[in-house]
Structure 1
Amino acid sequence: MSRKPPHPLVKLAFHVEHNVESWGWRVRRKLGLARPPRILPYRGYGNPRQAVIKARVLENRHVRPPWKRHTLLGSAVASWKRYNTVEIPRARVLARWGEHRWEGTTDEEGFLELWVEPPPEARAGWNDVELELLSPSPEGVERVRAPVLLAGPEAQFGVISDIDDTVIVTNVTNFLKRAWTLFLTEHRTRLPFEGVDAFYEALHLGSSGSAVNPIFYVSSSPWNLYEHLDEFLQLHRIPAGPLLLRDWGLSRTGFAPGGGHGHKLEKIRGLMGTLESLPFLLIGDSGQEDAEHYRTIVREFPGRIRCVYIRNVWHRAGREKELAFIAADIRAAGSEMLTVDDTVTAARHAASQGWIRWQEVAEVQAHQAEDVQARTLLDKLDREHG
């Protein structure tokens, strides 16, 4: 499906905005008023033939680490700093992977996306690539490590998962609750859906218990929340994976967030194309457009999607009928869509298909019970403290 080209005025506004920001940062830097640039590494991915190294170069706003933020005001200030970024366009970055070297340049919004051929010694699983900022010259040596996930021959399948209301309870269909979630809460106070950590770990390990199946997280959340979401996955021991998010604000293609979540389709198509030898499981929720997008992917990549799992969350009247039609379309296209009320149901189905080990279902059930207890306690504390 071709995308409608942006209006010329949108393109003009985009270039004016970014030229003004870039010029303003350079002027402030000459006056000694600008903060130094920093490289924010993202998780990349690929296969032994090609891989993408991802990062962004921004003015360093010195966001306080989570263990130093103890109040609502501190959380709000940290969120404001995450969103009020100053991107560094045309920054030159050197990437080192073993003995190999590549150089890349950031785009107008500070993003670096560098496609390379991994060195022969690269292994399946996570690999560290060192990134060094060449220009604008950093104050000191600015070097960071960007993880890159390579899918090896032992991988049985890949997993593509939504985040909001699939992994994390966010109530995205409620505007006020979503605003609170995005701007005023910390990853430490947000909870995953019950049993998600054990289920995703079981999918990661596969039926052999050592498959290293790659997991990818696709979301409508902005790139500004990357560190927040990555910390959330680590805190709750949910398997790490590349986060494919969305650029908010004015861009060369228009203004985001706009209507729909079509950007997810682009991200998923890219993954399917890069990892063309892998079948996939797709996981989403019933509250947005995940089922519709996954139906499109099933049709475009016949034989590649083993199953679509859709978590039942609050949604508008009539949604059940829509989901039933979509499930029928997916079956007709040669795959399957299962709507589930809890993680254990999905785990049992995955075990029955031979995608995970049966003993992992008991682990998912135990984690689900623990998470229910933790959520009940947190709700009680919230009520007691107003």
Structure 2
Amino acid sequence: MSTWKTLLTNVASNAEEKFDQLSDRLRQRLGSDRPLLIIPYNGYATAEHLTLRARVLQDQGTHTATDHDSRWDNLLNTYRHIGSREVAHAIIRAQLGEYTADFTANDEGYVTIQLPLDQTSEVFSTWLEVQLSLVDESLAEPVTAVGRALNLPTTAEFGVISDIDDTVLQSSATNYLRAAQLMFLHNARTRLPFAGVAALYQALSADGRNPIFYVSSSPWNLYELLTDFFDFQGLPAGPLFLKDYGITADQFISSGHSKHKLTQIEEILAAYPHLPFVLMGDSGQKDPEIYAEVVAKYPDRIRAIYIRDASADQRDLEVKAISEQLTADNIPTLFAPDSLSIAHHAASLGLIPVESIASVWIEEQKSTGEQGGRGAGETH
């Protein structure tokens, strides 16, 4: 890191830390402390250990989305998610079976929990549950949560690593004004998936046999909104790898989009060294370039790559060139206009049953009709 950037990062980090400390003292003096929460993020398990992340926050009064929420309700709820107040250095006790260990959160309230799996009898479950609790004698009431970690089925044939924005969720990520409108004025029930994507991902998942990992540059503050969206739309549950946009002494705001995504993909590949993967992304940002870099480093790990068309014509030429090169390198790659095209290609490779194509087609037709019925002002 250059000298000026190091200086700027240190100044910003110190300023943020001082502001947080001052805010905490002020709230304590005014008696306005809010209840605390542990927000667990879906993790994953290997043969040796379980890994999941969590964050300790003050309760900002967020609520689960409903069909009756107004745009003002959505704006306020999203603001509360994004404006969350972290609790630095909190101690979380994690229990899996008979095994218990304590972990300390960092300055931003995040904690990474790793537990060995050879001391529990629950390793045959698809999802392992970890009991989490805050270790703080000053608490009037216990603060607890249940974390979940995906345990790879022994019958898994491959895994899926998928982007979220403009791959699963209509986000207009390259149009910042439109993306902000979608984020702030809509919720998990009014945001739209791409037509047919739920049926496609269910087919790839094969009733949970093949794990799906979601990797995105969206902030961790939106985790609950995204998981609510997945649940409401019928998308397979899976671990999420999102991004911390905080300022620390080591980074100014955060690492770049490409570096973050590549790092998370490499973590997943390292966790399951014998499992091949299908990569799902879009052409709006840098997914094609990132996936090409993954193939260059791990050529024997990738079964197929699917890039959803979410870009203008000039960008399309670049993506087509990358796709053609990957295909020439024996990595089946499709630059696809829709979920149905992906389904046909995936079926030809044996990634999904041929019968699943009909399910994707039916869902596409249904989604297209519903979105058209809402009108242009309500669909995006």
Residue number among 349, 362, 372 corresponding to 2:358 in the alignment: 362
Contact 1:299 1:333 in 2 (8 A): no
Q: Hey, what's the Cα distance between the residues in 2 that align with 1:302 and 1:126?
A: 30
Q: Deviations over 1:127-170 (max 9, x none)?
A: 11110011374331111111110113211111011111100111
Which residue of the partner structure matches residue 38 of structure 1? Answer: 37
Which residue of the partner structure matches residue 110 of structure 1? Answer: 109
Q: Hey, what's the Cα distance between the residues in 2 that align with 1:339 and 1:246?
A: 26
Between 274-283 and 32-41, the greater mean CA deviation after superposition:
32-41
Q: TM-score, normalized by length of structure 1?
A: 0.91
1:171 CA drift (Å): 1.0
SS of corresponding position for 1:197:
helix
Which residue of the partner structure matches residue 262 of structure 1? Answer: 259
**1:372 aligned to 2:368?**
yes
Between 218-227 and 319-328, the greater mean CA deviation after superposition:
319-328
Which residue of the partner structure matches residue 215 of structure 1? Answer: 212
1:380 CA drift (Å): 6.0
* Alpha-carbon spacing, 1:318–1:136, altered in 2? closer, same or farther (3 Å): farther
**1:280 aligned to 2:277?**
yes
Give the alignment of 1:1-386 within 5 angstroms.
7-29=6-28, 31-67=30-66, 70-118=69-117, 119-135=120-136, 137-205=138-206, 212-256=209-253, 260-315=257-312, 317-379=313-375, 382=378
Q: Which amino acid aligns with 2:278?
A: L
Contact 1:72 1:184 in 2 (8 A): yes
Q: Which amino acid aligns with 1:376?
A: G
Q: Hey, what's the Cα distance between the residues in 2 that align with 1:335 and 1:229?
A: 30
SS of corresponding position for 1:56:
strand
Contact 2:88 2:106 in 1 (8 A): yes
Contact 2:126 2:150 in 1 (8 A): yes
Contact 2:96 2:115 in 1 (8 A): no
Q: Deviations over 1:82-126 (max 9, x none)?
A: 111211111000111111111111011111111221234312521
Q: Which amino acid aligns with 1:123?
A: F
Structure 1: where are the runs of 5+ without partners? none
Q: Hey, what's the Cα distance between the residues in 1 that align with 2:13 and 2:84?
A: 15
Between 73-82 and 30-39, the greater mean CA deviation after superposition:
30-39
Could you say what the CA RMSD is over the residues aligned between the two structures, in angstroms? 2.2
* Alpha-carbon spacing, 1:276–1:348, altered in 2? closer, same or farther (3 Å): same
* Alpha-carbon spacing, 1:284–1:135, altered in 2? closer, same or farther (3 Å): same
* Alpha-carbon spacing, 1:381–1:24, altered in 2? closer, same or farther (3 Å): closer
Q: Deviations over 1:195-231 (max 9, x none)?
A: 11111011111xxxx5611101111111111110010
SS of corresponding position for 1:235:
helix
1:382 CA drift (Å): 4.0
Contact 1:196 1:364 in 2 (8 A): yes
- Number of residue pairs aligned between Structure 1 and Structure 2: 376
Q: Deviations over 1:175-202 (max 9, x none)?
A: 1101111222111111100111111011
Q: Hey, what's the Cα distance between the residues in 1 that align with 2:299 and 2:214?
A: 22
Between 361-370 and 287-296, the greater mean CA deviation after superposition:
361-370
1:4 CA drift (Å): 7.3
Q: Hey, what's the Cα distance between the residues in 2 that align with 1:336 and 1:263?
A: 25
1:33 CA drift (Å): 1.5
Q: Hey, what's the Cα distance between the residues in 2 that align with 1:120 and 1:346?
A: 39
1:376 CA drift (Å): 0.7
Q: Hey, what's the Cα distance between the residues in 1 that align with 2:260 and 2:87?
A: 24
Q: Hey, what's the Cα distance between the residues in 1 that align with 2:98 and 2:257?
A: 43
Q: Deviations over 1:16-68 (max 9, x none)?
A: 31243045324523542211221011101121212212110011111133239
SS of corresponding position for 1:33:
coil
SS of corresponding position for 1:189:
coil
Among the aligned pairs, what percent are the same residue? 34
Q: Deviations over 1:294-340 (max 9, x none)?
A: 0011111121000110011233x422221233124323544121111
* Alpha-carbon spacing, 1:257–1:180, altered in 2? closer, same or farther (3 Å): farther
